[in-house]
Amino acid sequence: PELARSAPPRRRLALSYELFPARSEASFDRLRETVSQLEATAPDYVSVTSRTGQANLDRVLELTEYVLACTDLRPLVHLTSTGSTRGELELVVRALLDRGVRGLLALRGDVEDAHQADDDEVPFARYLVELIRAVERERTATLGAGRVSIGVAAYPRRHPESPTRRHDIEVLVSKERSGADFAITQVFFDPADYTDLVTRSREVGVQLPIVPGFVPATDPRRLHRLAELSGVEAPRSLLHALETARDDAARRRIGVAFTVDLIRRVLDDGAPGLHLFTFNRHAEALDVLETLDLDRWSAPAPHTPTTGDPS
Ligand code: FAD
């Protein structure tokens, strides 16, 4: 009877934040504060980035263990295949699962132009998904351990090494077939790029939720750096407005307004939620969230079947 009287189902938006591990004790202090501020918004998880070759594994574990032990948050740990052998990757996956991690983002990592994967390296993210599933199967058989949720990367703009956007979608199909559960996108600044990726992915049978990733676009230097890393350029008009803004407060207003408008447009188009690349800064992320007002998209589902006599 309680259930029957409860509100009709609402569209549930996923919310998550990306954090990178601290590089020093002082920055870990600031990071703890950021985690606590973000936790207040009840995200589904926080993701923890990692460097290729497990170069900062101790720092990744430090942040992951902190999240598990000292907060109610769930970590999604990024794992990159480049620069590690298959055996090393299996060890890292086991170490993370032993600590209670149940969410992994399977990535290849960025490679130098001349990089040739060794025979013992896992060359593409889809094979890392398979490796994680194999470790999971072995543990389920021996320990009865719980299922692992595996995310992968998707690209609304073409991946810089990819010949075409069609190829990117074929790669996404292969990641789903290998056992991925969801995808998070690289940054983009035009909502049509995201919508196009989703439409074209659905046309070839991809069923994964594709969660759009956003950077609070308040800092022009960060946007330039992101363009170098990802090949995705912010609009010139936005960069110009940020670079000529009167002061930091004005820059923040401009960047938050731009970001909120972008997020609104993809949520209006049906995106399943949002993932914010925070660069370990909670103030801008919280500004975006507050201005966005997610309740706007949590309207009752349009087709709520009414069964039985409500009286
Ligand atoms: P893949 O899916 O393996 O694709 C890499 C390239 O190979 C693409 O061009 C693809 O088209 C091509 N390709 C794939 N399969 C095949 C095939 N079978 N044959 C031929 N070509 C193929 N990097 C980090 O180092 N640390 C992080 O923490 C991190 N976090 C990220 C989080 C998100 C949400 C995103 C979107 C990216 C992140 N990255 C991170 C960057 C990522 O590692 C790079 O974009 C990397 O260049 C590609 O990773 P991928 O997992 O998409 O690789």
Point out the ligand 1 atom lying closest to the alpha carbon of residue 111.
47
Q: What is the pTM of this model?
A: 0.93
Atom 30 of ligand 1: nearest residue by CA position: 49
Buried b (16+ CB within 10 A) or exposed e, 260-298: bebbbebbeeebbbbbbbbbbebebbbbbbeebeeeebe
Atom 25 of ligand 1: nearest residue by CA position: 109
Determine the distance separating the centroid of ligand 1 and the alpha carbon of 253, expressed in angstroms.
32
Determine the distance separating the centroid of ligand 1 and the alpha carbon of 52, expressed in angstroms.
11
Q: Of residues 2, 18, 39, 203, which has the active-site annotation?
A: 18
- Mean local confidence (pLDDT), 176-192: 98
138 is catalytic: no
Which of 47, 59, 107, 208 most suits a substitution to test ligand 1, by most atoms within 8 Å of the C-beta? 107
- pLDDT tier at 294, thresholds 50, 70, 90: confident
- Mean local confidence (pLDDT), 275-295: 95
What share of residues in the chain are helix, strand, coil (percent, to 5)? 50, 15, 40
Determine the distance separating the centroid of ligand 1 and the alpha carbon of 119, expressed in angstroms.
19
Contacts of 272 (CB under 8 A, 6+ apart): 13, 14, 209, 210, 211
Determine the distance separating the centroid of ligand 1 and the alpha carbon of 285, expressed in angstroms.
25
The pLDDT value given to residue 95: 95
Q: Report the sign of the C-alpha dihedral through residues 155, 161, 166, 168, in that order.
A: negative
The pLDDT value given to residue 118: 73
